[in-house]
Structure 1
């Protein structure tokens, strides 16, 4: 699988090579605010499978370093220092990520009551162990 994506203004571009390790949804406050939506939809890839061009800005959260485009503010990546995994914000892909089905949900205690849980996905009240 080869996927590509980038920010809204086009200054940051990336390519993903291979399948994600896992795909999830998070309803925590940080992810909600970072996505500007009711939840964050993301995929985890080995860091070595991702290449990007362009300058990134960052800020620290409980999940690690959130990376975004400094020009348009589009959220793109997250990774913890020393980790060999990178979280990709799937809404930043060029093509609809329809085939990337969430296998788990995090922070379900904060899920909006009008939003149904993902059938077949593991449900975690807070973070995964």
Structure 2
């Protein structure tokens, strides 16, 4: 009998906690200007789960469709109709066993960052499939 993985995470101060069950249906690295500003870094790394795989406790605030902790300001996830996109740096376990399958907005990737090997590369958003 196999058990689906449960990954837990939360904000820096611990006021918001969440769990995701099972594997994400996609994971990726994004170099777009929004993700750079949002994370304060050169890129973001996220993964997506269906809403029925996600649960949370605590209160979040929303700015431009992304949720964050109002106490410590940690950016956590993006809730949308079909699921949740979680910033992988907010998971408790590191490394977390999740490998990106796509890298987007590569035209904004810093010259000193190598492409993620073995994943699809897109200069903008990937084509809708």
TM-score (norm 2): 0.92
Unpaired segments of 5 or more residues in structure 1?
Answer: none
Q: Distance in 2 between matches of 1:97 and 1:46?
A: 22
Shift of residue 98, structure 1, vs aligned partner: 4.1
Matched, 1:74 2:74: yes
Deviation above 6 Å: which 4+ runs of structure 1?
none
1:97-120 Cα offsets, whole Å, 9 max, x none, are 441111101110100000000011
Shift of residue 79, structure 1, vs aligned partner: 2.8
Aligned to 1:24: 28
Q: Trace 1:107-126 onto structure 2 (pairs within 5 A).
A: 107-126=105-124
Contact 1:46 1:85 in 2 (8 A): yes
Q: Considering only aligned residues, what root-mean-square deviation do their CA atoms show, in Å?
A: 0.9
TM-score (norm 1): 0.92
Contact 1:17 1:50 in 2 (8 A): yes
Which one has the largest radius of gyration?
A: 2
Unpaired segments of 5 or more residues in structure 2?
Answer: none
Aligned to 1:53: 57
